[in-house]
């Protein structure tokens, strides 16, 4: 009887003999095996994306520059039309315009007072541009550490299951499951950390560009104040 079954199987075409179906690996499967740490990493990733998009909108708006702005301000000040200069600054409503507007309100005072007022506004504008960047940097540094924590937890769980096995027979499925969880959390933490790090450095570079423009506007405005009437 056994020989007949073997002969029958040999006679069947290859497509009839079913092979065991292997589960395909994807991000959802990896996240499932990663446990609660993957949920935390997912929240951190969403937070980093939100901060990046929100900061990009703010920085892009702050980086807009009207080439004729300072020429118009110069003409208004030379004509003694201070009110029109202030209205122009309010209309433009950029960090450099707010900086110049503060300096205009100090016209008639000593130049040192004007410069201090302009620099203080500049510092406030830079601080506003850098808002939430500390959180982004924290995510970039903390996500890999959370991944490593998940790795340690997975390894501890694996060895604990081995120690609880009184028969002394170690099943590869139980061993591989713990190792899988350990590796998945490491990968997840590194992915979130790397993305957050690149996003942070990109935002810092964009902010530095805006800061240099503010410094140029400050010097241009102070030169305007020192021009002969």
Please check whether residue 88 is in contact with residue 72, taking contact to mean a CB–CB distance below 8 angstroms.
yes
Q: Report pLDDT for 177.
A: 64
What is the three-state SS of 15-75? Answer: CCCCCCCCCCCCHHHHHHHHCHHHHHHHHHHHHHHHHHHHHHHHHHHHCCCCCCHHHHHHH
Q: Which pLDDT score, from 0 to 100, does residue 137 have?
A: 95
Residues of the chain with pLDDT under 50: 1-6, 8-9, 12, 15-21
DSSP H stretches of helix in 130-171: 133-164
Q: What is the pLDDT of residue 175?
A: 62
Asked if residues 211 and 90 have their Cβ atoms less than 8 Å apart, the reply is no
pTM above 0.85, yes or no: no
Tell me the C-alpha distance between 204 and 193, whole Å.
16
pLDDT at 166: 61
Instruction: Specify the pLDDT at position 179.
Output: 72
Q: Which SS3 state, helix, strand or coil, does residue 195 take?
A: helix
pLDDT at 198: 96
Using alpha carbons, list the distances in angstroms from residue 92 to 67, 88, 99, 200: 12, 6, 11, 28
């Amino acid at each position: 009887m056994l020989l007949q079954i073997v002969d029958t199987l040999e006679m069947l075409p290859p497509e009839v003999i079913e092979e065991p179906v292997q589960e395909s690996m994807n991000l959802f499967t990896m996240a499932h095996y990663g446990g609660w740490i993957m949920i935390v990493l997912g929240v951190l990733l969403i937070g980093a994306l939100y901060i990046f998009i929100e900061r990009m909108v703010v920085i892009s708006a702050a980086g807009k520059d009207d080439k004729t702005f300072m020429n118009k301000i110069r003409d208004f000040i030379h004509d003694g039309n201070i009110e029109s200069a202030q209205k122009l600054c309010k209309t433009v409503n950029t960090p450099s315009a707010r900086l110049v507007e503060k300096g205009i309100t100090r016209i008639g005072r000593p130049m040192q007072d004007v410069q201090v007022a302009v620099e203080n506004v500049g510092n406030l504008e830079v601080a506003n541009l850098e808002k939430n960047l500390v959180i982004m940097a924290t995510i970039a540094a903390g996500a890999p550490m959370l991944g490593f924590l998940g790795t340690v937890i997975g390894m501890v769980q694996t060895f604990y299951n081995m120690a609880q096995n009184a028969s002394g027979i170690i099943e590869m499925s139980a061993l591989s499951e713990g190792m899988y969880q350990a590796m998945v959390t490491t990968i997840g933490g590194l992915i979130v950390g790397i993305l957050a790090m690149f996003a942070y450095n990109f935002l810092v570079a964009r902010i530095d560009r805006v800061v240099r423009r503010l410094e140029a506007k400050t010097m241009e405005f102070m030169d305007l104040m020192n021009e002969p009437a």
